[in-house]
Structure formats: structure tokens, C-alpha cells
Structure 1
């Protein structure tokens, strides 16, 4: 039997005391292509050249700084499921054999530990301390880290420690650790490291302070150690899988999937990068174990939903809209006897149906839903939009637990999926859109799954409509870029509006130039959005840093002259209350950045000035006092609560943003980020931390890798999601469909879901404030006030939060019930 062969393979591999040469060779093959997050030097140059050649990116400086933020290991990666580490390969990790140190370095004892410190007082000085490493094997996975603390660091993100690789004394590559400004307490920074991007014969670790950065940094307990996969766990869990419990029609394929997994991931045959990551992450394995369980559970429901008996080898499952169902590592739940959703009036809410063939390929798979009908017989037509989910193949880069195809584009132009191969999971996105006028109550209907023109399954669906409505615009201020004008412009602006996004461009007029292909404010559209109640905020134009040379008003004349007519137009249309002027994106030149704001204040005193310049004091420390709105990265916002509070006391606003940073464990909106992250960030986390708004730099940045091609009929696309550096999906939330029509992603669905969760919270907050103002004191008020406090089980911090979508949905439902019960 296959089970015995698999068990014996696992047992033999796990019992070997010395790893065989063939297995080391296997690991070399798969890991050599796993790029670490912080591989900087070559990627900086390459990405910069590409951007300059394409002439389609926003700001070279901005992107380099974003890449610095990406590689900053404020965001250290923890290996999921790693069972064992090898010995520390640093020859002198306790700093006892360093010999004579450069003048700017010193060694001292602190809490019985030897500490190496670097302090720079001369800005032109640059010295380092080098410690050898024992031999690293190309292709293996290592953890590289050190404990650090800093004082008075002058840059937002600073290089402090490298592992450098040399071949015949010639530099080959470096893996770099960073510290963030303000990291004054002892903490560990670390990353995963895979040597082998080029030949090398030696490696060492280097301690230093990035050139040109003032301040001091101390190091303690550095390490470089191999991460070893947990084969014993796989052996144990494999033994728990019982083929006899599988339905007869499903058993051959599911047993074959297990055999293929072992042969691809654990055998001595050549494997790919995805198999390499899987040895440490176990995502496919966990999904396969879940699939065996789901196969048995769905059999209990099959008699109620199956129409055609010949599809006994097809499993139906469901997932929430806060999950990503990987097509080749699919984790989902069995289809229940009925699928239920709840939503407010003027809300969108979704779920996913998963079709999994476990025997043969399926042709022309389609899903439809009948009209929904209320208890009193009223029909609700076209309540659901059903979209097949498309897939893009990611590259390693963000530290995600899986490498391969991820769900992302919503193929709303397709009525059916041409082919679903056996062993692949195909999701269909069911989106319920509740009109503002829809009467509250329970509505029921039926969904039908057809395969090659034949009805295969039917199952009931129901939607509960709450008795309150969400507003037409987001209750959180937003500044989100739609950079270049696209074909079918009205379709694009309509889709943006449908996701609470006001068509806007942070970077129009950047570099003191006016580009015809850049999207600029459409005042007639903005006026209509104001009338419709959907208008959020919009930018009158970008401003660069003022120049030292006082000529042309310190170089500001060009942009002021072009913002002036826009300002007058906004005033004419009554839109100034929605306008801002954005500039000095991620600037560390605070003197000139502040001069920029002083000049603009004289020209446009009634327009808020908005910046993401690096000022952790948010205008309160005297470094950057002249701006009105400040926007740090989300970890900086979280770690500067006193400065945030003081800024608001002074009448300023403090927003927050994400881009290609931060990485895990912080939330983001990458293709390979967990889907729940962006929903939590825009919903529960926003409710907990109360930023004044959210900024995102670009939503259609898919041009770098030649992705202007349109998606067609194939759900497994050749779209390259590696939009920036090694980051998948950074800067784009939408796709191009046939004839360049806009297509949404499941990520932007999660963005809107989060804003809707936040709206629930703010509506409930309004009900509580009204009850308190009226002097009411009731059990409802006590419960509602408690519900407004975000539970730590849901969000403890930005880096500690639930991964359970049902906990999130329970929080949302509780708020809905309290809103409906409000006095």
C-alpha cells in the first residue's frame, strides 16, 4: 500500500543521524532560488534601473526608501513549524577575540553579557568590526540575527549588520539587517538567509553603523544557525491519515496526492522553490490533512445537494471572504446544509464556494444563484454577483509561508471556468450587494453548480439584511492613488468609487513636471461625488522639497503656479473642504521639507498640507512644525502614541500607511499576505488605534514587469505579481481584463470589508454617544460600551491579532445586533 511506503520513507529520513549527501544536494537545489527579504545591493540597482527605463514609476527616491523600509528588520521573520536549529556558526559570538578595535568601537559587559558598541561623532568616519563565520552551505536555510539597541539614530531605517559573501576575496553579495529609528531598548532583529545566489568561498558578519548616520548602536549575542525541517512531525501526522475513512470515489486521488507530496517535498529527487519553502512551512501538508477531513464530512451533506450521481468525485466547500483558498494547497470547510450571510443595507458581503475535483478534470464549471425571496414573498433580483477567482504565481520575497499560485484577480468577465483540473481547488466569489432601500429581513434562494452544461449540485443560500444602512462613503478619510489614465476611464473611476476610493493622485506634478498621462483632479466628477455623498479627499497637486537656492521661491514656483488654478476650481465647485496638498514623500530632509510647508502656507492658507516625511514627532518636536497632516508607517504610528496625542492636541492630524513595508508580523495587502490582515487593518485595528486617515501610494502599479497585457479566459494566469523588489502585489489592487476593462482583486474586497467593519463600529459609537447625551443608563449601554473596546483576542497589537475569520465575524455580528437594539 502507498501508506506503508510513505511511512517508511518518512521514518528512514527522520532516523538518519547524518543527513545524506543526496538530501543536502536536494536542499541546495530548492533553496538556492528562495530569495531572502533583505537582499539589498543588487536589487536596489536592478529595480532602480528598471524604473528609470520604464519611465512609469513615481519617484526613484521614494522607491529606494520604500525598499529600505522593506528590508528593515523591525519585522523579523519567525519560521513556522521549524523544529530544530543547528549550532551558532559565528566564530566569536561573545566578542572576546576581537583584538584591537577601531576608535569608534568599544566592548563592555552588560548584565553578564559582552556588548559591542559603535558610536559616531564624526559624520565622515566609517569603520566596522568583522567576525568570521564557519562554513555555510549553499542552498540551505539559516536564521541570521542579533540583539541591538540604539541611541539618537538620525535616519528612519539604518543598516547596522551584514553577512557578506566573498569568492577569491571578491565581494559577491550581502544580507543586511536594519534598525528603525527610536529602537532604544534591547530587541532582536533577524531574517532568513539562503546563501548561494553566486559562488562564494568565505563569509563573515560585519558590525557597523550606516555611512552618514549619526548616533550609536550596541550589539549582543549575534547568531547564524541552520534551520532544520521537522520530519518527525510529518511522520507522526502522516500515520494519522486513514485511507479507509475516505469515500470510495475520492480515495484514489487523495492517496495519490499524498504520494506526490512525499515524492516532491521529501524525496531525493530534484524539487523547486515551492517545495523548499514547504519543508519548513507545511502549508500544503496541513491543507492535505484538512482535505482528507473535509472529504469525509462533505459526504454527510452530499445526498442533500447532489443532483447528478456521476459527480461523486467532486467535493464542494466554502470559505469566508477573509480567507485565501490556495488552489494547490487548498484549505476550506465542507459545504454546510445551507450557506448564510448577513449584511447591512448599502453593504457588500461575500463568501467563497470551492469546487474540488478529486478524480477527473471538469469542463465548463459555472455557478448561478436564483432570485432571493423574503418570508412575505417579495423577490430580490440579482442580489449576488458570482465571479470565478483567478490565480497568480508569486515569487519568494515577503516571507510568506507558501510559494506558488495565490488567489487574487476576480474574473468578473467570465461566466464559467473552462477547465478545473483534478486536484486543483477552484473558488467562486459570491458577492452580495444590498441596496440602501432593501427591506430588513431574511431572504432565501438557491445556488446551482453546473458542469459541462449539466446541473451537478444545488444548495440553499440565505441572506439576513439588518435594519440599518452604511454610509455611501468610508467613515475613515482616505488618500489613495490612481496614477495613470487608463482606457475606459469612467469604468475605472466607477470601480474605484465602488470600493470607497475617490479617484486621486498623490504624485501629480512630482519632480516639478506636468505629465499628460498622469491622472489629475476631475472637478466635475468630484462635484458629482460630493452630491452623491461618496466624495472622500483629493490632492490638488504634489510638491517637492524646497531648494536651498531662493530662486523661483526656492524652486516652488512651478508647482504653485499649477496648483493655483486647481485651487480656484475647487473653490468654484465648493470642494475645498475635501482638498489637500501632498508633498515631500518619505523625505528625511526635514529642514527643506519644513520650508516647503512655510512657503505653501502663504499661498494656500486654507488647504491642509500633508506629508509622509520622516518625523517621528509628527510636527511636535520643532523639526517639522509647519505641516498639518502627518503620515507615518503603521509601526511608527503604533510606537509613538505620545507624539500622536500631542500632535492632535496642537490641532494636527496623524494618519498611517503601508506600502512594501511593513512585512510580517505586521498586516499588509500583498498577494501572499493572509486575507484577514487588510480587513483587520481597515476595520478593528483602525477602531482600536484611531488614525485620522489611511494613505496608499498606488493601486495600478503593474507596469514594471510588462503586465499591461489583459487577463483572458484562463484562471491560472501568467500575470507577474512581483510588482516591486521581491514584493508580490505591492502598489496594485486591480487588474486589466479583456479590452483593458478593470477587474478587482480579492484584496480590494478585503479593504472594503474592513472599512465596512469600521463603519459598524462608528455607527455603534454614535448610538452610544446619543444614549449618553440623553442621560440613558441601561444594560444595552453597558454592553455597547464594552463592545466598542476591541478585544485583545481580536487585536492585541498591530503585530498580534487573530487569524480566525469567525472571531472577526462574531465581533461584527455582535455590533450589528447592538445597533439594531439601540434605544
Structure 2
């Protein structure tokens, strides 16, 4: 094989040839019968491709799909053979229980057609747009698809009408884009027979399936020609047929390009065993590309864990290591490193964190304790030992899902529990989270402290902690506007419903969740979903909006809510939520007069008590364009009743902020669906534009999922600064699974909606993710302090070098290259912050 490849390597001119993902489909020589049965020769004139890649960018799907595509002036015709080694598991009750999705971007990028076809029959055709509604605009009778379940696969045949692209007929002069996707799952997760979910696509899209600008180019050939038919592409090799005289090129990830020899229009090749990925291109005789796609393979490294396990097995007693806060310590992985110190920097009023890794080899170790000392500097200044917070790391469970993760399925370190003595069996690994908050009045300088690990009453390791405290503080008041919802229903259902516990105790418990968010530099969004709680409970603890008076006006009862809000604001929160949430499907719950009366009472209450400047209304969540007329009317009425109250609107669509909605003060698009032109115009008009992750986007886009790289949690605040957003919203932080609060697979995203966990009495305990997110909020303060210090000194000739260095750093070129390409290692964050801290001190020094 090596000799074969060495003889086929091409020179620099061809090796440099590049093309984006592309597929040419021929004009149909034969119109297929859409009946789900692929009759002999019916699809011989179609382009063919296979080798769908997992959307988690971890190789090819196990349950593969082969597609056939051709076209005429009225339709694009598609057939697919979907392999399924257990078709008996396909459920007719769940339409998403194995389906295909087709995405086509119309000419001029006017719209994205989204069509789903199901293994059990049926289809859904819709549009991914935002401005002007959605739905098929042509004759529904022209949409047709049929599916048939066979012994080891299921097949579909379907046609997509041209008018779904705003055209009466297709025209090859236009540029189209496309992607195809298979959802092999049961309602988004593992199949009943235990097979993991697989979400796979033709063209791999980083971060989110619906990212249209990353779709492949779809070229319509007006002629009936010999198409490219990629019959096989797997980890071992490929085979295809094409017009005689075509060129087939494989470019490997090391840059080498191979020209595959032709045998009467047939091309095949075995891949080397160490192949990590390649790009396949097919060219006509004249050099025009007919097919281009990139594939990645991920050989499993089984040897390194074996070597580490062998080293660990030699350890006597207890092993101890010190690592940063962004390293994941899995109890399912072997561990053998040992270390004895760590260096940290922090501003006054800032938290810092690291981890102790405790592991055993041949011995069991009992009664392991961890104790932290005070910090002391050379001048005798002391930071008391009481500033420390030590936790035992627990584990949450990741289900099989289709987006990228860093350790597959199973246990992930996340919940942080109160530290108690530990015991380890042989070959076990556990971690302790060590953190502290530098007091606001701490003297600057270099401090040292220790963390002592003991076992069975004897000291095992004393870890030296070096801490540099900067001569500046991050403000207690959060600078970045946020809204992180608690979502109280699951707390109530798990720990209060059916138990002899009062509504007042429930309110105090919810308040502890809110305070935990505020203490980690996040503004809590509390009782946003109070409509989901028992009415008798919420009427006792508030807020209550619908108390109608005899004269027709309304009275607002905050009950304990205003006291909660004042506590959050005092802890540093920037804003709070007011008003009733109107449930999806029941937007007209209140009449227009009731609506105006309720909001008038809320407005007058907060105007009178001085909190109005911090309040915002959020009555509709992702209302969608079909509701825009109704929502606009209600927003106008709300403005009339509460003229000084800011109105917030979320949107999970491709052009948001949207010209279809009016009277909005705070626009909140989902983070991968931002219209940056509309964003700029909204901000120029004095509006705020936040953004938010919710389920999607997938890694490597920033998000707060459990099973992705910690850099994705930390970078979102940095991206908020770089791309000039005004805030971050997050939909839930305690949306527990009622059956197992440690197994939260909300919307097929592990850990989505859970950033705090519950102790046995329902009170909150933080997560590793919450700690890292808090770090990111502190990072944001560093960026503002550096920006403001540079701005203040920009005309000072003595500070020219420092100002220029600060301005260059604030471009964040090494931290965020693009929204899905950013720093993942803690070292990059620590280095930046150390340099920024030194510059802030220098710029502030007289």
C-alpha cells in the first residue's frame, strides 16, 4: 500500500487544487415513480453519494445512508436507502424515530427549504426564515414521498417542487446550496435496543446543522450525463463510477494528493490504516469539479490509556496531582501524574479555582481529608482560611447524542458536593474542587498558602498555592447584563410536592438558587415559569398579577418577590424579570383590557418603589413569525400601559433582530441565528442586543452543555465582548430530570438547562460549569477594566507602549479566531489574564 501511494503522489500544482463541498446532479432521463420501491434502472441516471458523517465530527455513521438525486424543470427527485440493522425498532408513534432532513438554500440566499421525510411515511415541508412567515407556498398536491421498511433498511422516494424555491421551475444558471441529514434515534436519543443515536450529514457543518452558509454547493446540469456515483465510502476505502476520462483525487490531511487510476469509468482505492481524513474530488476532463467532499476518521488510541493504567498500578498509597479548573477529571480514566504546587493570579473581589486529583494504585486508602490554610505575604498581610470553598466532585450522566462531546457517554464530573472524608479502592480516581474568593479589601502582593492532603491521620502531600493579588478590584456590580432562569417547577416537583413542606419554605429554597447565580456573577431570572407551579403555591409567595379590583383595575402583589430582587441587585445583579409569561398556544389568555390593566399595575408598582430601571418584561418566548401580528399588537398595548418598562423578545430564527416585530427594547437572538446587520441597526437606534444558547448550537459553538470542552463554556462572555453584544440569556439552570436529577438530557443535549444541582433537601449546590462560567464573567470584567484604562491613558505620552499593547490584546485575535474557533486550554486564558492584569496595573499607576 505504501508503495502504491508513493507512486501516485502528485506535484504541487494539482495538490494545491481546492474546492468547497459540491455535488452536481444530472437532468433526469427518466421520471421516477414515487412509491418507495426503487425499481430496476429507475435511478440509474441519478448522482449517488454515501459516507454520511456524524455531526459530532467523530467519523462516519454506523447506520449508513445512500442517496440518489436528479432533477427536471419541476422537481428535484431524491431516493435514499437507509441501513438499519434492526428495523423492528422503528416506531410509527414517533415521527422523528428515524427520518431524513433535506436543506436547500434558494437562489440568492432568499430562504432555506427544510423538508423532513419519515421512515414511517409522511413529510413536513417548512422554511427556515424569520421575516415573512413560513410554510409551503405552492400546491400541496405536488409534494410527494413514500417510504418502505424492508428487512435490513428502509427506502424513500420523494420529490421537491421547484416553487418551494420561489421559482416556477428550476434553472441551472442559479446557484443552489444543499445538505442532507439523517436522524437515527428515538426522539433524539438512544434506541430501545441500546444503539446510540446517530445524526449524520453529507456536508459536515461545524456547530449546528442549520448553518446555511456552510452547506455544499448544488449544481444542476441541464444535460442527461453520466453522473458521479459514489457507491462506497467507509473507513477502509471508496469506490465510485464516473464518466470515462474523469479525474478522481484524494487529498489527505497531511497535504498529500493521490490520483486514483481509472478502469473503464470505475475508480476504487483502499485507505491507509492511519488515515485520519481526506477530501475526495471528482473532475471532468476539462477540470471542472463534479463532486467534492471532506471526510474525517478518528482512530481510537487504545494504547495510551493502557500505559497510564500500568503506571498507576505501581503507585503505592495515595497519589496527588494539582490541575487547573478547566481540566476534566474522569473517574473512568486512568491517572498517574503527581504534582505539588500551583500559581494563581486574582483581582480583589475575584474567585479563583483549581483541582486536586486523588488517585490510588495497588492500595486502598481510607479517611482522606483536605484542609486549606490562610494566605500570607512577606509583609505579614493575611487572607483568612475562611475564604476557601472545598468540594467533592460528583458526576452527572451523559446519554448518547449526536453532537460533539469530549468523552462519549457515561459519567462526567460536574456537581460539587460539600467535602467530607473520602475513601478510595485500588485503581480509583477522584477529584476535589478548591476555590476561594479574594476579599474586596485585600492588600495587593504575592501570597502563599497551602492545601494539605492527609489519609488515615497522616499527611500525604502539602500543596503550595502561590497567589498574586492585583492592585485593582473587579466591581461587585456585574457589568455584563444577563438573565439566567432558575425554572422552579422541577425543584417543587422533586422536593416539595406531596411533602409536608410549606410554600414559604419553597420560596426560600428558590431564593437560594437565585442567590447562588448572583454570587457567581449572573443575574437570576426567577419565577419566569410560575404558571407551571400550583396556583395556591404561587399565590402565597408571589408574584401575583391577576387580582382584579371592583373598578376593573388590577392590583399587583409581589409578596416575597421584591425582597428577593433587592437581594439579587445588592449581590451585583444587573436586572430582573417582571410580569406574566403567556404560555405557548395561549397567547390570548388575557383580553386586551386585562392585558393593559395588569401591566399598568406592574409599571406603577415598580415606578413607585424605585426598581423600574432594573426591570424588563419578557411575555413571549420565541413567538415565531406566524404570531407576529398578535405579538406586535400586545407589545404596543404593553408600551402604552407601561411606557418606561423595557420589553425583551427572544428569537430562534435566521434573521433576528427582526423587522417583523416592533416595540422591542432588548432583542435576544439565539447565538447561531444572529442577523449582524439588523443587530448593528438596532444598537444604533438605542436598543440592546443580547444572545443566548438554548439546546443548540452544538459544539464547537459556545454553549453550556455537560459533555463538551470547557473552553466552550468560558468563551461565550469573551465572544460577547468581541462581537459587541449587550448581554446573555440562558433558559434554565435547574431543569432537573424528575426520574434522575443527574441525567439531564433536555432536548437531546446533555446537561442543557442544569447549572446547579440539588442536595437531598432540595437546596442548591454549584456545578463545575457554573464555576467556569463565573470565571468567564470575571474575564469580561478584565476586558472592560483594560479597555477603560487604555482609553483613560490614550493621550499620555508616558503610557504609549502600554496603551498600544492593551489595544492589541483587546482584539482577542489569539483567543477567538471565529465564533467556533477559539482557545480551549486553560493556559491561554491564564496567560491572557496575567498579561492583562499587569497592563491594568501599569496603566492605572501614576
User: Could you tell me how far apart the structure 2 residues matched to 1:546 and 1:399 are?
Assistant: 31
Distance 1:679 1:727 in 2: 18
Matches within 5 A, 1:73-152: 77-80=55-58, 82=59, 90=66, 92=68, 95-96=69-70, 105=75, 116=76, 129-133=77-81, 135-138=83-86, 148-150=104-106
1:783 corresponding residue in structure 2: 805
Q: Aligned pair in 2 of structure 1 residues 594, 471: CA closer, same or farther (>3 Å)? A: same
Q: What TM-score, normalized by structure 1, do the two folds share?
A: 0.66
Other structure's SS at 1:411 match: strand
Match of 1:499 in 2: 520
> 2:177 corresponds to which residue?
186
Q: Cα distance 1:328–1:85, how it changes in 2: closer, same or farther (>3 A)?
A: closer
Distance 2:533 2:362 in 1: 61
Query: Number of aligned pairs?
Result: 615
Please say if 1:624 is aligned against 2:661.
yes
What is the CA distance between 1:78 and its match in structure 2?
Answer: 4.3
State how far apart, in whole Å, the 1-side matches of 2:702 and 2:229 are.
27
**Gap regions ≥5 residues in structure 2:** 1-52, 90-97, 121-146, 159-164, 167-174, 194-199, 203-214, 220-227, 238-296, 489-505, 544-557
Matched, 1:796 2:832: no
Counterpart CA distance in 2 for 1:289 and 1:519 is 59
Match of 1:760 in 2: 782
Q: What residue number does 1:415 align with?
A: 420
Residue 524 in 1 paired to residue 541 in 2?
Answer: no
The alignment status of 1:480 with 2:456, answered yes or no, reads no
Q: Deviations over 1:6-38 (max 9, x none)?
A: xxxxxxxxxxxxxxxxxxxxxxxxxxxxxxxxx
- Over 3 Å counting, the alpha-carbon distance change for 1:353 and 1:191 in structure 2 is farther
Deviations 1:353-388 (A, max 9, x none): 101112233323221112221112233222322111
Deviations 1:294-326 (A, max 9, x none): x69xx9xxxxxxxxxxx7353322321122212
Equivalent residues in 2 for 1:396-545, closer than 5 Å: 396-397=400-401, 398-401=403-406, 402-412=408-418, 414-417=419-422, 419-484=423-488, 485=506, 488-505=509-526, 507-508=528-529, 516-517=537-538, 520=543, 522-530=561-569, 532=570, 534-544=572-582
State the partner residue of 1:274. Answer: none
Shift in Å, 1:568: 2.7
- 1:729 maps onto 2:781 in alignment: no
Give the number of the structure whose residues are more often helix, by fraction.
1
Cα RMSD after superposing both structures: 4.4
Instruction: Tell me by how many angstroms 1:595 deviates.
Output: 1.8
Give the superposition deviation at 1:674. Answer: 1.6
Residue equivalent to 1:237:
none
Whether the 8 Å CA contact 1:669–1:677 is kept in 2: the answer is yes
Aligned partner of 1:569 among 594, 605, 621: 605
CA distance in 1, matches of 2:485, 2:369: 35
What is the aligned partner in structure 1 of residue 738 from structure 2?
705
Q: Partner of 2:828 in structure 1? A: 807
Secondary structure of the corresponding residue to residue 630 of structure 1: strand
How far 1:646 sits from its partner (Å)?
A: 1.1
The offset of 1:729, in angstroms, is 1.3
Aligned equivalent of 2:687: 652
Q: Would you say the 8 A contact 2:176–2:217 is kept in 1?
A: no
Q: Deviations over 1:260-312 (max 9, x none)?
A: xxxxxxxxxxxxxxxxxxx967487655556668x69xx9xxxxxxxxxxx73
Deviates more, 1:595-604 or 1:279-288: 279-288
1:727, 1:736 → 2: CA distance? 20
Check whether the contact 2:481–2:523 (CA below 8 A) recurs between aligned residues: no
- Which string of whole-angstrom CA distances, capped at 9 and with x for unpartnered residues, describes residues 419-449 of structure 1? 3233332111110210110111111122211
Does the Cα contact within 8 Å between 1:619 and 1:627 map onto a contact in 2? no
Is contact 1:543–1:556 with CA below 8 Å preserved after alignment?
Answer: no
Structure 1 unaligned regions, length at least 5: 1-74, 106-115, 117-128, 200-204, 208-215, 231-278, 300-310, 708-718
How far apart, in 2, do the equivalents of 1:500 and 1:706 lie? 30
8 A contact 1:477–1:692 mirrored in 2? yes
Q: Of Structure 1 and Structure 2, which has the larger fraction of its residues in strand?
A: 2
Deviation at residue 170 of structure 1 after TM alignment: 13
Name the larger-Rg structure.
Answer: 2
CA contact (8 A) 1:86 1:226 kept: no
TM-score between both structures, scaled by the size of structure 2: 0.64
Looking at structure 1, the residues matched to 515 and 363 of structure 2 have their Cα atoms a distance apart, in angstroms, of 41
How far did 1:593 drift?
2.0
Summarize deviations over 1:423-478 as a string: whole Å, max 9, x none.
33211111021011011111112221122333222222221111110111321101
Q: Which residue does 1:384 correspond to in 2?
A: 388
Where 2:618 maps in the other structure, the secondary structure is strand
Does residue 338 of structure 2 align to residue 327 of structure 1?
Answer: no
Bigger shift: residues 187-196 or 357-366? 187-196
Indicate yes or no: 2:614 matched with 1:578.
yes
- Residues in 2 aligned to 1:806 and 1:630: alpha-carbon distance in whole angstroms: 34
Contact 2:374–2:382 (Cα < 8 Å) also in 1: yes
The residue that corresponds to 2:721 in the other structure is 687
CA shift in 2, pair 1:86/1:528, >3 Å? closer
Cα offset for 1:770?
A: 1.1
